[in-house]
Amino acid sequence: MNDNACLGAAEARRPLQVSLLSAFEEIAQTVLKTAHGEVHTSLQSYLDGAVSLSGAYFSRRAILLAIHDMKENLEAPLALQERVLAELISLKVQPAPELKLYRDVATALLRIEVVIRSTALQTTKSDETKH
């Protein structure tokens, strides 16, 4: 009976996990498109914005964190792994992490946002010092 209860719980989570991964893929693509130029505030606003999953609203940042905390070892698509790694390298993030699993990619996307925000803050402080 306990095995059936566990199986039922896993089956109940599957639709949410599929919609979570789908939302994650969309968020990842947008972050990668938005990661260039002086867009730190729009990227931050985008991640703090909400999306609807299974009738409930979650911030995009919360979805990244949920994927980051995922216990399953789900491998991310190779194209996504490569795009995120290329972005980390372009931002000079060292050491570049291994990006095999979805949770690795989620962590990297969060790091990208932090690096962009930090770089923008340093640039602003540098510009203020010059004036």
Confidence band of 48 (pLDDT split at 50, 70, 90): very high
Number of domains observed in the structure of the chain: 1
Confidence band of 124 (pLDDT split at 50, 70, 90): low
Geometric angle at alpha carbon 26, from 25 and 28, rounded to 5°: 65
Question: Mean pLDDT throughout 80-105?
Answer: 93
Question: Mean pLDDT throughout 20-47?
Answer: 84
Q: Distance (Å, rounded) from C-alpha 47 to C-alpha 41?
A: 10
Residues counted in the chain: 131
Question: Mean pLDDT throughout 75-87?
Answer: 96
Structural domain span for residue 52: 2-130
Does position 38 have pLDDT exceeding 60, yes or no? no
Enter the pTM of the model. Answer: 0.79
Query: Within its chain, how far is the Cα of 114 from the centroid?
Result: 11
Q: Distance (Å, rounded) from C-alpha 57 to C-alpha 94?
A: 34
